[in-house]
A = this chain, B = another copy of it.
Amino acid sequence: MNEIFFDSVKPSDAKLQMGAWCKSLRQRKGLSQEELSAKLNLSRVTIHHLESGRNSTLETFLKVLNHFQELESFYTYLAEKTAEKDVKSLY
């Protein structure tokens, strides 16, 4: 046991980064949390939770990506990952 050095990135880190992405998308469009939440039919608190790395649902995260036209690209990324044969085996 003890796989030593890996896994320094934890799920909580990824949640924070997903929130940071959503926040950057919103701010680039000059929207307030209030405005975005209204457009997505979500509460402002839910947007705030998402952006601050709380344990949101996939739906909340994906609604934000969808609103900022990032869903298609994200979907493609997922599809590639799904099709990807274990690249680590090449090393």
Name the contact of A15 in the complex, choosing from B8, B20, B58, B72 (C-beta under 8 A): B58
Report B-chain residues with C-beta under 8 Å of the C-beta of A69: 6-7, 88
- Chain B residues with CB under 8 Å of A55's CB are 57-59
A66 within 8 A of B: yes
Give the number of chain A interface residues (Cβ < 8 Å): 38
> Which of B11, B28, B56, B57 makes the CB contact (< 8 A) with A66?
B11
Say yes or no: A79 contacts B17, CB within 8 Å.
yes
**In the complex, what's the smallest C-beta–C-beta distance from A66 to chain B, in angstroms?**
6
Closest residue of chain B to A79 (Cβ to Cβ) is B17
A36 CB within 8 Å of chain B: no
